Amino acid sequence: MRPMIRLGALALAGTALAGCSQITITSDTIVDGTARIADATTNAVQGTSNVTTNTANDVDARTHAARREFVGSQMAMIKREAARGQGENLETLAYMMHAEDTQAFEQQVQANYQALFASDADADQWLTRLYDVMGTPPDMALASAG
How far apart CA 62 and CA 97 sit, in angstroms, is 6
Residues 6+ apart with CB under 8 A from 123: 67, 68, 69, 71, 72, 75
Backbone region of residue 100 per phi and psi (left: phi > 0; alpha: psi in -120 to 50; beta: other values): alpha
pLDDT tens figures, 66-113: 999 999 999 999 999 999 999 999 999 999 999 999 999 999 999 999
Instruction: Please tell me whether the overall predicted TM-score, pTM, comes out greater than 0.75 for this model.
Output: no
pLDDT tens figures, 38-69: 554 444 445 444 444 454 444 588 999 999 99
Domain boundaries of the chain, sorted by first residue: 3-57, 64-145
Mean pLDDT of 117-143: 91
How far apart CA 72 and CA 82 sit, in angstroms, is 15
